[in-house]
Structure 1
Amino acid sequence: MGFMSAWAISSHAEQAIADLSPRLLPAMQADRADPDAERSWLAWRQNPLPDHRSWYSLGGEDGRDGRARAEATAIESFRSLTAPGSHVDEVCGGMADPSFHVLDDVWEGQGEDEMFISVHSKEYGVSSLFHAIGPTRAALLPGWCGNFLLTPAQVRAALPLVERALTFTPAERAAVEAQDWLEYGEDEESVLDGPLRVWRRATHEGLGLCGVAVHVC
Protein backbone atom coordinates (compact mmCIF):
# COMPACT_ATOMS: atom_id res chain seq x y z
CA MET A 1 0.00 0.00 0.00
CA GLY A 2 1.41 3.40 -0.95
CA PHE A 3 1.81 6.44 1.25
CA MET A 4 3.19 9.95 1.14
CA SER A 5 5.19 11.37 4.01
CA ALA A 6 6.51 14.81 4.86
CA TRP A 7 9.15 15.97 7.29
CA ALA A 8 9.19 19.72 7.81
CA ILE A 9 11.00 22.21 10.01
CA SER A 10 9.21 25.55 10.15
CA SER A 11 10.13 28.85 11.81
CA HIS A 12 7.79 30.65 14.22
CA ALA A 13 7.74 33.55 16.63
CA GLU A 14 7.90 32.68 20.31
CA GLN A 15 4.17 33.23 20.86
CA ALA A 16 3.31 30.85 18.03
CA ILE A 17 5.53 28.19 19.60
CA ALA A 18 3.71 28.72 22.90
CA ASP A 19 0.35 28.38 21.15
CA LEU A 20 1.40 25.10 19.49
CA SER A 21 2.82 23.59 22.67
CA PRO A 22 -0.42 22.27 24.23
CA ARG A 23 -1.25 20.40 21.04
CA LEU A 24 2.09 19.12 19.85
CA LEU A 25 4.30 18.58 22.89
CA PRO A 26 2.11 15.91 24.56
CA ALA A 27 1.96 13.96 21.30
CA MET A 28 5.73 14.22 20.80
CA GLN A 29 6.36 13.12 24.39
CA ALA A 30 3.95 10.19 24.01
CA ASP A 31 5.75 8.92 20.91
CA ARG A 32 9.09 9.23 22.66
CA ALA A 33 7.80 7.37 25.74
CA ASP A 34 6.70 4.34 23.71
CA PRO A 35 8.69 1.36 25.07
CA ASP A 36 9.04 -0.18 21.60
CA ALA A 37 10.50 3.07 20.26
CA GLU A 38 13.02 3.24 23.09
CA ARG A 39 14.08 -0.37 22.51
CA SER A 40 14.48 0.27 18.79
CA TRP A 41 16.57 3.37 19.46
CA LEU A 42 18.90 1.52 21.82
CA ALA A 43 19.23 -1.41 19.42
CA TRP A 44 20.13 0.92 16.54
CA ARG A 45 22.67 2.84 18.64
CA GLN A 46 24.36 -0.39 19.66
CA ASN A 47 24.31 -1.92 16.17
CA PRO A 48 24.11 0.62 13.32
CA LEU A 49 22.77 -0.80 10.08
CA PRO A 50 25.03 -1.73 7.15
CA ASP A 51 25.16 0.00 3.76
CA HIS A 52 21.56 0.44 2.65
CA ARG A 53 22.40 -0.97 -0.77
CA SER A 54 22.72 -4.39 0.86
CA TRP A 55 19.28 -4.31 2.46
CA TYR A 56 17.39 -5.74 -0.49
CA SER A 57 19.79 -8.58 -1.28
CA LEU A 58 18.95 -10.63 1.78
CA GLY A 59 16.75 -13.04 -0.14
CA GLY A 60 13.34 -14.36 0.80
CA GLU A 61 12.44 -15.39 4.32
CA ASP A 62 12.93 -19.10 3.57
CA GLY A 63 16.39 -18.53 2.15
CA ARG A 64 17.82 -16.45 4.98
CA ASP A 65 20.20 -17.74 7.58
CA GLY A 66 19.98 -16.58 11.19
CA ARG A 67 22.25 -13.59 10.63
CA ALA A 68 20.28 -12.40 7.61
CA ARG A 69 16.99 -12.74 9.48
CA ALA A 70 18.38 -10.73 12.39
CA GLU A 71 19.52 -8.02 9.99
CA ALA A 72 16.11 -7.91 8.32
CA THR A 73 14.48 -7.57 11.74
CA ALA A 74 16.86 -4.72 12.63
CA ILE A 75 16.01 -2.90 9.38
CA GLU A 76 12.28 -3.12 10.06
CA SER A 77 12.84 -1.96 13.64
CA PHE A 78 14.78 1.06 12.40
CA ARG A 79 12.14 1.92 9.79
CA SER A 80 9.43 1.76 12.44
CA LEU A 81 11.48 3.92 14.79
CA THR A 82 12.06 6.67 12.20
CA ALA A 83 8.59 6.63 10.65
CA PRO A 84 6.11 9.30 11.81
CA GLY A 85 4.98 8.58 15.36
CA SER A 86 1.34 7.60 15.77
CA HIS A 87 0.50 10.34 18.28
CA VAL A 88 2.07 13.17 16.26
CA ASP A 89 0.49 11.74 13.10
CA GLU A 90 -2.94 11.77 14.73
CA VAL A 91 -2.66 15.34 15.98
CA CYS A 92 -1.07 16.80 12.83
CA GLY A 93 -3.42 14.99 10.48
CA GLY A 94 -6.56 16.38 12.10
CA MET A 95 -7.69 13.03 13.51
CA ALA A 96 -7.49 14.19 17.13
CA ASP A 97 -9.19 17.52 16.39
CA PRO A 98 -10.60 18.33 12.93
CA SER A 99 -10.13 22.03 13.61
CA PHE A 100 -6.33 21.61 13.66
CA HIS A 101 -4.19 20.38 10.78
CA VAL A 102 -0.46 20.79 10.28
CA LEU A 103 -0.90 22.03 6.70
CA ASP A 104 -3.11 24.94 7.75
CA ASP A 105 -2.05 25.64 11.32
CA VAL A 106 1.72 25.10 11.21
CA TRP A 107 3.00 25.26 7.62
CA GLU A 108 0.60 27.76 6.07
CA GLY A 109 2.28 31.09 5.24
CA GLN A 110 5.84 29.82 5.57
CA GLY A 111 8.27 31.28 3.04
CA GLU A 112 10.94 29.18 1.34
CA ASP A 113 13.66 30.72 3.51
CA GLU A 114 11.74 30.05 6.71
CA MET A 115 11.04 26.38 6.17
CA PHE A 116 12.57 23.08 5.14
CA ILE A 117 10.26 20.37 3.88
CA SER A 118 10.99 16.94 2.46
CA VAL A 119 8.05 15.12 0.84
CA HIS A 120 8.45 11.60 -0.54
CA SER A 121 6.32 8.73 -1.78
CA LYS A 122 6.84 5.45 0.09
CA GLU A 123 9.88 6.85 1.91
CA TYR A 124 10.63 8.74 5.12
CA GLY A 125 13.01 11.68 5.19
CA VAL A 126 14.02 11.11 8.81
CA SER A 127 14.84 7.46 8.09
CA SER A 128 17.20 8.37 5.27
CA LEU A 129 18.86 11.19 7.22
CA PHE A 130 19.37 9.13 10.37
CA HIS A 131 20.80 6.16 8.49
CA ALA A 132 23.10 8.43 6.49
CA ILE A 133 24.56 10.25 9.51
CA GLY A 134 24.45 7.33 11.94
CA PRO A 135 23.29 7.12 15.55
CA THR A 136 26.09 9.14 17.15
CA ARG A 137 25.30 12.24 15.08
CA ALA A 138 21.54 11.62 15.19
CA ALA A 139 21.66 11.61 19.00
CA LEU A 140 22.91 15.22 18.91
CA LEU A 141 19.71 16.45 17.25
CA PRO A 142 17.06 17.83 19.63
CA GLY A 143 13.69 16.20 20.03
CA TRP A 144 12.73 12.70 18.99
CA CYS A 145 13.23 11.31 15.49
CA GLY A 146 12.65 14.60 13.68
CA ASN A 147 9.89 15.92 15.97
CA PHE A 148 10.53 18.91 18.22
CA LEU A 149 9.05 22.21 19.30
CA LEU A 150 11.64 24.73 20.47
CA THR A 151 11.57 28.30 21.71
CA PRO A 152 14.03 30.81 20.22
CA ALA A 153 16.30 30.34 23.24
CA GLN A 154 16.26 26.57 22.82
CA VAL A 155 16.99 26.89 19.10
CA ARG A 156 19.97 29.10 19.83
CA ALA A 157 21.29 26.77 22.55
CA ALA A 158 20.98 23.72 20.30
CA LEU A 159 22.71 25.21 17.25
CA PRO A 160 26.24 23.99 18.16
CA LEU A 161 24.96 20.41 18.50
CA VAL A 162 23.05 20.60 15.22
CA GLU A 163 26.15 21.95 13.50
CA ARG A 164 28.20 19.05 14.89
CA ALA A 165 25.60 16.60 13.63
CA LEU A 166 25.21 18.08 10.15
CA THR A 167 28.61 19.52 9.23
CA PHE A 168 30.92 17.23 7.25
CA THR A 169 34.40 17.10 5.82
CA PRO A 170 34.50 16.36 2.08
CA ALA A 171 35.15 12.66 2.79
CA GLU A 172 32.35 12.51 5.37
CA ARG A 173 30.00 14.26 2.96
CA ALA A 174 30.66 11.70 0.26
CA ALA A 175 30.00 8.87 2.73
CA VAL A 176 26.71 10.25 4.03
CA GLU A 177 25.47 11.13 0.54
CA ALA A 178 26.03 7.50 -0.46
CA GLN A 179 23.74 6.42 2.40
CA ASP A 180 20.97 8.96 1.75
CA TRP A 181 18.66 6.94 -0.50
CA LEU A 182 16.16 9.70 -1.24
CA GLU A 183 15.82 11.06 -4.75
CA TYR A 184 15.69 14.85 -5.18
CA GLY A 185 14.31 17.13 -7.83
CA GLU A 186 16.46 19.82 -9.39
CA ASP A 187 15.41 22.52 -6.90
CA GLU A 188 14.72 20.23 -3.96
CA GLU A 189 16.84 20.57 -0.83
CA SER A 190 18.29 17.42 0.71
CA VAL A 191 17.77 16.24 4.28
CA LEU A 192 21.51 16.72 4.75
CA ASP A 193 21.31 20.46 4.02
CA GLY A 194 17.87 21.88 4.78
CA PRO A 195 17.67 21.38 8.55
CA LEU A 196 20.94 23.17 9.30
CA ARG A 197 20.11 26.04 6.93
CA VAL A 198 16.78 26.65 8.64
CA TRP A 199 18.34 26.27 12.09
CA ARG A 200 20.98 28.90 11.39
CA ARG A 201 18.42 31.30 9.98
CA ALA A 202 16.08 30.87 12.94
CA THR A 203 18.95 31.49 15.33
CA HIS A 204 19.90 34.66 13.45
CA GLU A 205 16.30 35.90 13.33
CA GLY A 206 15.44 34.96 16.93
CA LEU A 207 12.74 32.47 15.94
CA GLY A 208 11.55 29.16 17.34
CA LEU A 209 11.33 25.95 15.33
CA CYS A 210 8.72 23.25 14.88
CA GLY A 211 9.83 19.92 13.43
CA VAL A 212 7.18 17.35 12.53
CA ALA A 213 7.26 14.13 10.53
CA VAL A 214 3.81 13.03 9.33
CA HIS A 215 1.92 10.99 6.78
CA VAL A 216 0.18 13.36 4.41
CA CYS A 217 -1.76 10.63 2.57
Structure 2
Amino acid sequence: MGITTAWAISSHDDQLIEKLGPRIRPLVEAERDCPDARRRWRHWHRNPLPDYRTWWDPYGRSSAEEAENLDCFRELTACGEHVQKLYDGLSPDDDFHLVRDVWEETADTDVMFMSVQSKDYAIASLFHAIGPRRAALLPGWCGNFLLTSAQVREALPRVERALTFTAEEEAVARDQNWVGYDPDEESVLEGPLRVWRQAVGAGLGLCGVAVTIW
Protein backbone atom coordinates (compact mmCIF):
# COMPACT_ATOMS: atom_id res chain seq x y z
CA MET A 1 0.00 0.00 0.00
CA GLY A 2 1.35 3.45 -0.89
CA ILE A 3 1.81 6.31 1.54
CA THR A 4 2.07 10.06 1.28
CA THR A 5 4.20 11.93 3.78
CA ALA A 6 4.78 15.56 4.62
CA TRP A 7 7.62 17.34 6.38
CA ALA A 8 6.79 20.95 7.20
CA ILE A 9 8.60 23.77 8.98
CA SER A 10 6.13 26.51 9.88
CA SER A 11 6.71 29.88 11.55
CA HIS A 12 4.81 31.18 14.57
CA ASP A 13 5.03 33.95 17.12
CA ASP A 14 6.27 33.00 20.56
CA GLN A 15 2.80 33.16 22.07
CA LEU A 16 1.58 30.32 19.84
CA ILE A 17 4.86 28.41 20.26
CA GLU A 18 4.35 28.37 24.03
CA LYS A 19 0.71 27.33 23.57
CA LEU A 20 1.78 24.44 21.35
CA GLY A 21 4.58 23.42 23.70
CA PRO A 22 2.65 21.06 26.03
CA ARG A 23 1.22 19.20 23.04
CA ILE A 24 4.24 18.94 20.75
CA ARG A 25 7.39 18.92 22.89
CA PRO A 26 6.53 15.72 24.84
CA LEU A 27 5.92 13.89 21.56
CA VAL A 28 9.26 14.98 20.09
CA GLU A 29 11.00 14.01 23.33
CA ALA A 30 9.31 10.61 23.23
CA GLU A 31 10.66 10.07 19.70
CA ARG A 32 14.17 11.15 20.73
CA ASP A 33 14.23 9.11 23.95
CA CYS A 34 12.99 5.85 22.42
CA PRO A 35 15.78 3.27 22.94
CA ASP A 36 15.26 1.78 19.47
CA ALA A 37 15.47 5.22 17.88
CA ARG A 38 18.70 6.02 19.72
CA ARG A 39 20.13 2.64 18.69
CA ARG A 40 19.27 3.30 15.05
CA TRP A 41 20.83 6.77 15.26
CA ARG A 42 24.09 5.33 16.61
CA HIS A 43 24.01 2.56 14.02
CA TRP A 44 23.66 5.05 11.16
CA HIS A 45 26.55 7.14 12.50
CA ARG A 46 28.74 4.06 12.57
CA ASN A 47 27.48 2.75 9.21
CA PRO A 48 26.61 5.60 6.80
CA LEU A 49 25.03 4.29 3.63
CA PRO A 50 26.58 4.20 0.14
CA ASP A 51 25.11 5.76 -3.01
CA TYR A 52 21.33 5.38 -2.74
CA ARG A 53 21.16 3.96 -6.26
CA THR A 54 22.81 0.78 -4.94
CA TRP A 55 20.17 0.15 -2.24
CA TRP A 56 17.50 -1.58 -4.28
CA ASP A 57 18.95 -4.80 -5.64
CA PRO A 58 16.17 -6.68 -7.47
CA TYR A 59 18.23 -9.87 -7.28
CA GLY A 60 18.61 -9.83 -3.50
CA ARG A 61 22.39 -9.81 -3.57
CA SER A 62 22.83 -7.40 -0.67
CA SER A 63 24.67 -8.80 2.33
CA ALA A 64 22.95 -9.20 5.69
CA GLU A 65 25.01 -6.32 7.03
CA GLU A 66 23.99 -4.04 4.15
CA ALA A 67 20.34 -4.94 4.64
CA GLU A 68 20.57 -4.21 8.37
CA ASN A 69 22.20 -0.83 7.74
CA LEU A 70 19.47 0.14 5.31
CA ASP A 71 16.65 -1.11 7.54
CA CYS A 72 18.00 0.87 10.51
CA PHE A 73 18.22 4.04 8.44
CA ARG A 74 14.74 3.62 6.98
CA GLU A 75 13.24 3.06 10.42
CA LEU A 76 15.15 6.02 11.85
CA THR A 77 13.96 8.45 9.19
CA ALA A 78 10.37 7.24 8.84
CA CYS A 79 7.61 9.26 10.49
CA GLY A 80 7.55 8.47 14.21
CA GLU A 81 4.51 7.02 15.95
CA HIS A 82 4.46 9.68 18.69
CA VAL A 83 4.57 12.80 16.51
CA GLN A 84 2.16 11.08 14.12
CA LYS A 85 -0.53 11.59 16.78
CA LEU A 86 -0.56 15.30 15.89
CA TYR A 87 -2.08 14.31 12.56
CA ASP A 88 -4.07 11.22 13.53
CA GLY A 89 -5.45 12.71 16.75
CA LEU A 90 -4.05 12.95 20.25
CA SER A 91 -7.06 11.33 21.92
CA PRO A 92 -10.78 10.79 21.24
CA ASP A 93 -11.76 13.79 23.38
CA ASP A 94 -9.14 16.19 21.97
CA ASP A 95 -9.97 17.91 18.67
CA PHE A 96 -6.47 19.36 18.15
CA HIS A 97 -5.23 18.80 14.59
CA LEU A 98 -1.86 19.55 13.03
CA VAL A 99 -3.24 21.11 9.83
CA ARG A 100 -5.75 23.44 11.45
CA ASP A 101 -3.96 24.29 14.68
CA VAL A 102 -0.37 24.49 13.44
CA TRP A 103 0.09 24.71 9.68
CA GLU A 104 -2.89 26.98 9.05
CA GLU A 105 -1.79 29.16 11.98
CA THR A 106 1.61 29.98 10.52
CA ALA A 107 2.58 33.59 11.18
CA ASP A 108 3.72 34.11 7.60
CA THR A 109 3.04 31.68 4.75
CA ASP A 110 6.25 32.86 3.07
CA VAL A 111 8.18 31.65 6.12
CA MET A 112 7.17 28.03 5.68
CA PHE A 113 8.69 24.99 4.03
CA MET A 114 6.81 21.83 3.10
CA SER A 115 7.95 18.71 1.28
CA VAL A 116 5.20 16.24 0.36
CA GLN A 117 6.39 12.87 -0.92
CA SER A 118 4.66 9.80 -2.32
CA LYS A 119 5.96 6.47 -0.97
CA ASP A 120 8.95 8.26 0.50
CA TYR A 121 10.24 10.42 3.35
CA ALA A 122 11.81 13.84 2.86
CA ILE A 123 13.92 13.47 6.02
CA ALA A 124 15.45 10.24 4.70
CA SER A 125 16.61 11.97 1.54
CA LEU A 126 17.93 15.00 3.42
CA PHE A 127 19.79 12.99 6.03
CA HIS A 128 21.37 10.68 3.47
CA ALA A 129 22.42 13.64 1.33
CA ILE A 130 24.10 15.55 4.17
CA GLY A 131 25.34 12.60 6.22
CA PRO A 132 25.37 11.88 9.97
CA ARG A 133 27.80 14.61 11.04
CA ARG A 134 25.74 17.42 9.52
CA ALA A 135 22.43 15.87 10.55
CA ALA A 136 23.59 15.88 14.18
CA LEU A 137 23.79 19.69 14.03
CA LEU A 138 20.08 20.08 13.35
CA PRO A 139 17.85 20.78 16.38
CA GLY A 140 15.16 18.41 17.56
CA TRP A 141 14.85 14.83 16.38
CA CYS A 142 14.70 13.70 12.75
CA GLY A 143 12.94 16.84 11.50
CA ASN A 144 10.65 17.31 14.51
CA PHE A 145 11.11 20.32 16.80
CA LEU A 146 9.37 23.28 18.42
CA LEU A 147 11.53 26.34 19.05
CA THR A 148 10.94 29.85 20.33
CA SER A 149 12.31 32.81 18.39
CA ALA A 150 15.31 32.95 20.76
CA GLN A 151 16.01 29.25 20.23
CA VAL A 152 15.69 29.64 16.46
CA ARG A 153 18.20 32.48 16.54
CA GLU A 154 20.57 30.52 18.78
CA ALA A 155 20.40 27.45 16.52
CA LEU A 156 20.98 29.32 13.25
CA PRO A 157 24.81 28.93 13.20
CA ARG A 158 24.48 25.15 13.59
CA VAL A 159 21.80 24.95 10.91
CA GLU A 160 24.00 27.00 8.60
CA ARG A 161 26.93 24.63 9.20
CA ALA A 162 24.66 21.68 8.44
CA LEU A 163 23.14 23.10 5.26
CA THR A 164 25.83 25.32 3.75
CA PHE A 165 28.16 23.67 1.23
CA THR A 166 31.20 24.31 -0.89
CA ALA A 167 30.59 23.81 -4.61
CA GLU A 168 32.03 20.30 -4.41
CA GLU A 169 30.02 19.41 -1.29
CA GLU A 170 26.83 20.74 -2.85
CA ALA A 171 27.35 18.62 -5.96
CA VAL A 172 27.71 15.49 -3.82
CA ALA A 173 24.68 16.37 -1.67
CA ARG A 174 22.50 17.09 -4.69
CA ASP A 175 23.55 13.82 -6.27
CA GLN A 176 22.48 11.92 -3.14
CA ASN A 177 19.19 13.79 -2.60
CA TRP A 178 16.44 12.00 -4.48
CA VAL A 179 13.49 14.31 -3.64
CA GLY A 180 12.59 17.91 -4.40
CA TYR A 181 13.46 18.37 -8.05
CA ASP A 182 10.02 19.20 -9.38
CA PRO A 183 10.25 22.79 -10.70
CA ASP A 184 7.47 23.79 -8.29
CA GLU A 185 9.01 22.02 -5.28
CA GLU A 186 11.68 23.53 -3.07
CA SER A 187 14.57 21.18 -2.35
CA VAL A 188 15.08 19.77 1.15
CA LEU A 189 18.66 21.02 0.82
CA GLU A 190 17.50 24.63 0.43
CA GLY A 191 14.08 25.13 2.03
CA PRO A 192 14.93 24.54 5.71
CA LEU A 193 17.82 27.01 5.76
CA ARG A 194 15.78 29.63 3.89
CA VAL A 195 12.96 29.30 6.41
CA TRP A 196 15.39 29.44 9.33
CA ARG A 197 17.01 32.66 8.14
CA GLN A 198 13.66 34.27 7.40
CA ALA A 199 12.32 33.33 10.83
CA VAL A 200 15.36 34.89 12.51
CA GLY A 201 14.85 38.05 10.47
CA ALA A 202 11.17 38.20 11.42
CA GLY A 203 11.66 37.29 15.08
CA LEU A 204 9.56 34.12 14.80
CA GLY A 205 9.68 30.66 16.27
CA LEU A 206 9.57 27.47 14.22
CA CYS A 207 7.73 24.17 14.35
CA GLY A 208 9.03 21.19 12.39
CA VAL A 209 6.81 18.12 12.01
CA ALA A 210 7.16 15.02 9.81
CA VAL A 211 4.01 12.87 9.43
CA THR A 212 2.26 10.41 7.18
CA ILE A 213 -0.80 12.11 5.73
CA TRP A 214 -2.20 9.21 3.72
TM-score by length of 2: 0.95
Task: Pick from 101, 105, 113 the counterpart of residue 105 of structure 1.
Answer: 101
Note the aligned Cα RMSD (angstroms). 1.3
1:5 and 2:5 aligned: yes
Distance 1:160 1:169 in 2: 16
Moved more, 95-104 or 193-202: 95-104
Identity %: 58
The AA in structure 2 aligned to 1:74 is N
How many Å apart are 1:194 and its aligned residue?
0.3
Distance 1:94 1:194 in 2: 27
| Alpha-carbon displacement from aligned partner over 1:52-73 (angstroms, at most 9, x marks no partner) | 011012732xx55xxx121111
Corresponding position of 2:182: 185
* Superposition misfits of 4+ residues, deviation over 6 angstroms: none
Instruction: Kindly tell me the number of residue pairs found equivalent between the two proteins.
Output: 212
Matches within 5 A, 1:53-92: 53-57=53-57, 59-60=59-60, 63-64=61-62, 68-92=63-87
Corresponding position of 2:34: 34
Tell me the secondary structure at the aligned position of residue 57 of structure 1. coil
Distance 1:18 1:8 in 2: 19
Tell me the secondary structure at the aligned position of residue 8 of structure 2. strand
Distance 1:109 1:24, change over 3 A: closer
1:155 and 2:155 aligned: no
How many Å apart are 1:92 and its aligned residue?
3.0
The AA in structure 2 aligned to 1:126 is I
Counterpart contact for 1:5–1:214, Cα < 8 Å: yes
| Alpha-carbon displacement from aligned partner over 1:86-110 (angstroms, at most 9, x marks no partner) | 0000133325355111111110154
Distance 1:203 1:85 in 2: 28
Distance 1:205 1:54 in 2: 42
Counterpart contact for 2:87–2:213, Cα < 8 Å: no
Kindly indicate which of the two structures has a greater share of residues assigned to helix.
Answer: 1
Distance 2:188 2:180 in 1: 11
Matches within 5 A, 1:110-149: 110=106, 111-149=108-146
Q: Which runs of 5+ in 1 are unaligned?
A: none
How many Å apart are 1:23 and its aligned residue?
0.4
Counterpart contact for 1:93–1:214, Cα < 8 Å: no
TM-score by length of 1: 0.94
Corresponding position of 1:204: 201
Counterpart contact for 1:51–1:179, Cα < 8 Å: yes
The AA in structure 2 aligned to 1:76 is D
Distance 1:186 1:201 in 2: 22
Distance 1:58 1:129, change over 3 A: same
